[in-house]
Chains A and B, each alone.
Chain A
Amino acid sequence: EDQVTQSPEALRLQEGESSSLNCSYTVSGLRGLFWYRQDPGKGPEFLFTLYSAGEEKEKERLKATLTKKESFLHITAPKPEDSATYLCAVQDQETSGSRLTFGEGTQLTVNP
């Protein structure tokens, strides 16, 4: 059974204070690892897809990296508008179609 564990559950940062969110996963065979951002009362917004260990992707202040067991979402010099819940999900090669297994999310708060 696929498992995704995100840590920490909640993170408070001061504006400009860089940090990382962790996503540990267990799958039979990784087809893809996905990061989403979710604002309160809204649907998740797609950020990144990572496919293989060593891969990195960047978008503005966010950088996602992937190893064989975990993924990190690095936030550099965050701003208050980066406050949101960040969700990690995996897609298993053994699962038909595009089903995702989600972690519980990390709630990020960036104070001005």
Chain B
Amino acid sequence: GAVVSQHPSRVICKSGTSVKIECRSLDFQATTMFWYRQFPKQSLMLMATSNEGSKATYEQGVEKDKFLINHASLTLSTLTVTSAHPEDSSFYICSASAWAGGWVAYEQYFGPGTRLTVT
């Protein structure tokens, strides 16, 4: 259980174009989804938090007009990188949050990641 998928796994796009990444929770309903960015040999950097049906909350320094997040349902969130530039090239990972039961804690399950290369 608790499987999260991401699509595509790799994408190459030209500078100035937009690219959409999908994140789906396959076997559970996720009240909250998160989008992270990861640079080589570094830990995860939280970009934004999204709750189904409401606007995403962006971390300080993350351009909300550049990284558009839509959380249309309890199982789907999308990240659109608009007018992509080479510096947007990175590894993007989503996660979906599920109630752990028992104690008051939510467990986050991660997707396999999307490698974005902007040429």
Residues of A within 8 A of B (CB): 31-32, 34, 36, 41-46, 49, 51, 87, 91, 93, 97-100, 102-105
Contacts and interface: CB of A to CB of B under 8 A. Distances in A.
Interface residues of B, number: 29
Contacts of B107: 32, 34, 46, 49, 98
Interface string B65-98: 0000000000000000000000000010101010
B108 A34 contact: yes
Nearest to B96: A98
Interface of B: 2, 4, 6, 31-32, 34, 42-44, 46, 49, 51, 91, 93, 95, 97, 100, 103-113, 115
Contacts of B6: 43
A27 to B, nearest CB: 12
Contact of A43 (B31, B104, B105, B110): B110
